[in-house]
Amino acid sequence: MCSLHGRNGALVTALLFALHCGGALAQSASPRAGQAYPAKPIRLIVPFPPGASSDVVGRMLGQKLTEQLGEQVIADNRPGAGGNLGIGVAAKSPPDGYTIVIATASIAVSPSLYANLAYDAVKDLAPIARLALIPNVLLVHPSVPAKTLRQFISLARAHPGKLNFGSGGAGTTNHLANELLKSLEKINMVHVPYKGVTQAMVAMTGGEVDEVVMPITTALPQIRAAKVRALAVLTERRIAVLPDVPTTKEAGVDSFTMPLWYGMFAPAATPRDIVARLSRELVHALEAPDLRKRLAALGVEAWPGTSGQLGELMRSEIARFAAIVRNAGLQPQ
């Protein structure tokens, strides 16, 4: 008995030792596993064309993340369908942390305007971080005989269906802003959608469309070059880079505000620790004075927020835009 007990005791001791060592190895490996991400370049899908505000902001953030993470963050422009094409690509990508997408507030508009979206914004995407706010500005071609927003509205009312407006596609905030204006002022204008707001700007400077609402980041160079005329900013207060341009309320139209916000998302099943890491890195990047200064020069306000804050924002905005779409009488396409 003593001999058998001794052998069993030795086996038990060996087993306990192995379990102890295994636990220690697992504990020591866990931090290294966490630190290993990212181990290769990260694809940042930009669902709008080069030069669009989301492209500008996305590339700035990608550069900052590259510095912080030690791996390249590479922009991949996938324009089309008001941003939904690129977002759909992101939603269907492997949920491994190596595909992320920058989305505008249009992601909260699309559920009300598209009957057959290729993705569900709430179920198929994981919010990473809230990023920034960008003012929208209402612009007209210099040939349009209106120097103020009220004059433009009077012109549209006097000639129903004669004026047209460009947008970055159905469901973008620059589209919905004009639908809101039409609803508020009971005017009739023709919508001309493009693949992105950059193309809409080119079309307006070329005289193809009369008016476009667009982010200040895209509009500012054309305003300064006098290729377009700014009538109002769609914000509660004036903006520093265009101090002489009135707000829509100052210009005589109440409840006509449409700021543009940005958020970063990943495919829904992306591991929580990776989402948390990216969230921390993005918030850290947006708190950097040098990036804030570069963004401010373009009229962009850094608005860093957590994954949870972005999720709350998106849910509330989906409800808000749904009400705007209903009031405007728009039907899902």
Which of 109-113, 245-249, 307-311 shows the lowest per-residue confidence on average (mean pLDDT)?
109-113
Using the predicted structure, report yes or no on whether residue 13 has a pLDDT greater than 50: no
- Region 112-135 average pLDDT: 94
Q: Give residue 35's pLDDT.
A: 56
Tokens of 222: 């054309």
Using the predicted structure, report yes or no on whether residue 10 has a pLDDT greater than 60: no
- Region 278-288 average pLDDT: 97
Look at strands 125-134 and 301-305 and give their pairing: antiparallel
Map tokens 């094409």 to a residue: 85
Per-residue pLDDT band for 148 (boundaries 50, 70, 90) equals very high
Q: Give residue 218's pLDDT.
A: 86
Q: Give residue 34's pLDDT.
A: 47
Residue 49: which of 77, 12, 90, 21 has the closest Cα? 77
Distance between first and last Cα of the chain: 83
- Determine phi and psi for 312, rounding to 5 degrees: -65, -40
Tokens of 166: 């460009």
Using the predicted structure, report yes or no on whether residue 7 has a pLDDT greater than 60: no
- Region 12-39 average pLDDT: 49
- Region 15-44 average pLDDT: 58
User: Concatenated DSSP letters for 163-220?
Assistant: -EEEESSTTSHHHHHHHHHHHHHT---EEEE-SSHHHHHHHHHTTS-SEEEEEHHHHH
Q: Give residue 29's pLDDT.
A: 37
Per-residue pLDDT band for 33 (boundaries 50, 70, 90) equals very low
Rounded CA-CA distance 167/251 in Å is: 22
| 252 C-beta neighbours (distance < 10 Å), count | 15
Residue 301: which of 116, 120, 130, 127 has the closest Cα? 130
Rounded CA-CA distance 161/189 in Å is: 5
Is residue 131 within 8 A of residue 263, CB to CB? The reply is yes
Per-residue pLDDT reduced to its tens digit, 176-213: 899 999 999 999 999 999 988 889 999 999 999 999 99
**Cα–chain-centroid distance for residue 182?**
25
Per-residue pLDDT band for 100 (boundaries 50, 70, 90) equals very high
More confident residue, 265 or 9: 265
Per-residue pLDDT reduced to its tens digit, 54-69: 999 999 999 999 999 9
Q: Give residue 21's pLDDT.
A: 42
Strands (E), the chain: 42-46, 73-77, 99-104, 125-134, 136-140, 164-167, 190-193, 211-215, 229-233, 260-267, 301-305
Residue 69's identity, in one-letter code, is L
The number of CA neighbours under 13 Å toward the Cβ of 88 is 14
Using the predicted structure, report yes or no on whether residue 8 has a pLDDT greater than 50: no
For the chain, domains (ranges, CATH) are 42-133+261-328 (3.40.190.150), 136-233 (3.40.190.10)
Using the predicted structure, report yes or no on whether residue 113 has a pLDDT greater than 50: yes
- Region 294-321 average pLDDT: 94
- Region 267-284 average pLDDT: 98
Q: Give residue 51's pLDDT.
A: 86
- Region 90-101 average pLDDT: 98
- Region 221-238 average pLDDT: 95
Per-residue pLDDT reduced to its tens digit, 15-26: 344 434 444 433
Rounded CA-CA distance 144/163 in Å is: 9
Cis peptide before 38 (omega within 30 of 0): yes
Look at strands 99-104 and 42-46 and give their pairing: parallel
As a residue count, the chain comes to: 333
Look at strands 99-104 and 125-134 and give their pairing: unpaired
Q: In what order do the strands lie in the sheet with 125-134?
A: 73-77, 42-46, 99-104, 260-267, 125-134, 301-305
Going 131 to 133 to 138 to 139, the CA torsion angle's sign is negative
Q: Give residue 96's pLDDT.
A: 97
Q: Give residue 306's pLDDT.
A: 96
